[in-house]
Amino acid sequence: MKQIIIGLGSCGIASGGLKVKQTLQDLADKAGMGITVTETGCMGMCYTEPMVEIKDETGKRTIYGGVDESVAHEIFNSHVLKDIPVTSAIAIDSDGAGNEKDFLSNQVRLVMERCGNIDPESIDDALSMDAYDGLKKVLGSMSPTEVIDEILASGIKGRGGAGFPTGLKWRFAANNSDTQKYIICNADEGDPGAFMDRSILESDPHSVIEGMIIGGFAIGATKGYIYARAEYPIAIRRLKIAINAALERGFLGKNILDSGFDFELIIKEGAGAFVCGEETALIESIEGNRGMPRIRPPFPAARGLFGKPSNINNVETLANIGRIIRKGATDFAAYGTDESNGTKVFALAGKVKKGGLVEIPIGMSIREVVYDIGGGTSSGKAFKAVQMGGPSGGCIPAALIDTTIDYKPLAETGAIMGSGGMVVMDEDNCMVEIARYFLQFTQSESCGKCVFCKIGTKRMLEILERITQGQGVEGDVEKLESLSHQIKTNALCGLGQTAPNPVLTTIRYYRDEYDAHIRDKKCPAGGCKALIHFNISPEKCIGCTLCAKKCPTSAISGEVKKAHIINQDKCTKCGICRSVCKFDAVVVQ
């Protein structure tokens, strides 16, 4: 009998997936043929959610994209009941055909191999795709030293942004003789435009749990914490379900798989402070204190949670561990570059046609990700830049679009790999405003512990705000550079030290835009409201009245089939008129 599977990650739910599921459930119940309706997580194609999969008796899969209630009826009546696929709506099928085949064909799925292929609330589904096989191997035939050696041999580096070798990090903690140790999963994903951790936890929570148990065994920890932000309710709910299921099956708790190894796993919900992504601030938060970074050394491997040796890895790093052990270090090392092995998951967002979650072998170029996978800019306008590494990263310009996605090449541009945010921008983005936006974020999220971050970013933000409002003066750019270097050199934690990166990279690559704002009081990209105004071209306007109807302040007037005008005193520069005009008659000056 056919099986109907609905994608219900956050993206699927936000796009109306619950209504689609209810529609298909009602149709299946009415048909009375024993058709099952289940759910899965996100397979990365967020741009075409809600997604519906039809799996037939032979196991053939047909995945549909952009399904609403009407299309759901069509799929059920045609494909489910008559075995006639609705070809116009097929995203991809088992034969590799479909409208979205290029999105997946250019990726390599290691971390995400089960995402979108299992019910995240079913441990049996996870087990059918080799979940916990790595743990069975570890507890059945490996010593802690052998586990660490295998992780070192794989070459995996921390996927949280720093790129420190994971096996070496584990070895530091393992070498500590203390009898009480902790392993911590950092799921405090706070970067604007980033949703990698959330999607993995929602779609395959068992991969992270397995990685933590293996890590605990390797370093000698009997207790683990998953620090997840409370804004991820679906991820947390599915984690709780997965933990309970793992306990029932003997993968967690006392004497796991009769090995004599005990491991307890606790979820700690964070309150959403960006600084708690820094590992020592995260530790403070778990302990019940205000999330503020500690001075290092000592490092967590020596004195971490509750004063005990601790190891902290992010979600993606831990999700790789079970597969590395199961398949072997050589398999993982076969992907990537000579300096960086494996794959990297990115949240592809911003002005890109096919936004979503992508997993690529390290070494692919930015161009390949943006165009071959993402389909180019969503506006159809020229690609201008990509922000990588979130607020701690930098803007990489179109001239460097062929930069290899690897730790060292990205660092040479002034950006960083980061945890995996990749925000695409087109020619309408003002790079001075982009710098102001990211600095506003980091300044508001500063914990306030060190003066260089607390006060330095505030002064930088004030300068950027003046520039974007047309009040910049000569010497402002030099002040920004001077403050940036002082903050990078003297801030207490990594978040403070990297806060100036968006400013420094935009100055480096787009100095002409800063000069235009300061000297000419103009915003070349038309993005700073204080420096622009909207007008309607009488040559292009046909008087369709659409802009006047959509204007929220009734600032546009004119007769039908005659050119309209904008009252500048009423105009709030919201840009709605420009976005709805089909004739490019609204211009920014």
CB 356 within 8 A of CB 244: no
Q: How far apart are CA 502 and CA 516, in angstroms?
A: 19
Q: What is the pLDDT of residue 95?
A: 84
Q: What pLDDT score was predicted for residue 342?
A: 96
- Which residues touch 355 (CB under 8 Å, ≥6 apart)? 46, 47, 348, 349, 374, 378
The DSSP secondary-structure symbol of 258 reads G
Q: Measured between alpha carbons, how far is 220 from 262 in angstroms, rounded to an integer?
A: 10
Other Cβ atoms within 10 Å of 482 Cβ, number: 11
* Predicted pLDDT at 186: 95
Residue with tokens 């199961």: 326
- Residue 52: CA count within 13 A, CB half-sphere: 34
Q: What does the DSSP assignment read for 262-273? A: -BEEEEEEE---
How open is the CA angle 260-266-272, to the nearest 5 degrees?
A: 155
Question: What secondary structure does DSSP assign to 397-450, as a single string?
Answer: EGGGTT-B-SHHHHHHHT----SSEEEEEETT--HHHHHHHHHHHHHHH--S-S
How many Å apart are CA 457 and CA 441, to the nearest integer?
10
Q: 391, 428 in Cβ contact below 8 A?
A: no
- pLDDT score recorded for residue 390: 85
Distance between CA atoms of 378 and 181, rounded to whole angstroms? 48
> How do beta strands 223-229 and 264-270 pair?
parallel
What pLDDT sits at residue 219? 97
Collapse the DSSP code of 84 into the 3-class scheme (helix H, G, I; strand E, B; otherwise coil) and give the result: coil
Instruction: Look up residue 503 and give its two tokens.
Output: 């400013």
What are the tokens at 373? 């996978």
265: left (phi > 0), else alpha (psi -120 to 50), else beta? beta
Euclidean distance between CA atoms 344 and 196, whole angstroms: 10
Which residue reads 């007769």 in tokens? 559
Compute the distance between CA of residue 552 and CA of residue 571 in angstroms, rounded to an integer: 9
Each of the 589 residues of the chain gets a pLDDT tens digit; together they read 789 999 999 999 999 999 999 999 999 999 988 899 999 999 999 999 999 999 998 889 999 999 999 999 999 999 999 999 999 999 999 888 888 988 998 899 999 999 999 999 999 999 999 999 999 999 999 999 999 999 999 999 998 877 899 999 999 999 999 999 999 999 998 888 889 999 999 999 999 999 999 999 999 999 999 999 999 999 999 999 999 999 999 999 999 999 999 999 999 999 888 899 899 999 999 999 999 999 889 999 999 999 999 999 999 999 999 999 999 999 999 999 999 999 999 999 999 999 999 999 999 999 999 999 999 999 999 999 999 988 888 999 999 999 999 999 999 999 988 888 899 999 999 999 999 999 999 999 999 899 999 999 999 999 999 999 999 999 999 999 999 999 999 999 988 999 999 999 999 999 999 999 999 999 999 889 899 989 999 999 999 999 999 999 999 999 999 999 999 999 999 889 988 999 999 988 8
Contact predicate 265/226, CB 8 Å: yes
Reported in sequence order, the residue ranges of 189-237 that DSSP labels E, i.e. its strands, are: 223-229
Please work out, in degrees rounded to the nearest 5, the angle formed at the alpha carbon of residue 21 by the alpha carbons of 19 and 27.
Answer: 105
For position 133, what pLDDT does the model report? 98
Nearest to 229 by CA among 193, 259, 185, 264: 185
**In this structure, how many other beta carbons lie within 10 angstroms of the beta carbon of residue 476?**
17
State how far the alpha carbon of 118 is from the alpha carbons of 72, 208, 533, in Å. Answer: 21, 15, 51
Strand partners, 148: none
- CB 93, CB 61: distance < 8 Å: yes
Q: Which two tokens stand for residue 121?
A: 């609330």
What's the pTM value of the predicted model, to 2 decimals?
0.93
Q: How far apart are the first and last CA of the chain?
A: 62
Is-contact 283 289, C-beta < 8 A? no
Domains of the chain (ranges; CATH) run 3-105 (3.40.30.10), 123-332 (3.40.50.11540), 343-426 (3.10.20.600), 431-519 (1.20.1440.230), 533-588 (3.30.70.20)
Listed in sequence order, the DSSP H helices in 267-314 are: 279-286
**For residue 34, what pLDDT is reported?**
87
Cα–Cα distance for residue pair 448/456, rounded to 1 Å: 11
Q: Tokens at residue 488, please?
A: 């990078």
The C-alpha angle 49, 53, 57, rounded to 5 degrees, equals 180
In contact, 426 and 377? CB cutoff 8 Å: yes
- How far, in Å, CA of 220 to CA of 281, rounded? 23
The pLDDT, as a whole number, for residue 127 is 98
Q: How far apart are CA 103 and CA 344, in angstroms?
A: 16
Burial bucket for residue 497 (CB in 10 Å: 0-12, 13-18, 19+)? middle
Predicted pLDDT of residue 420: 86
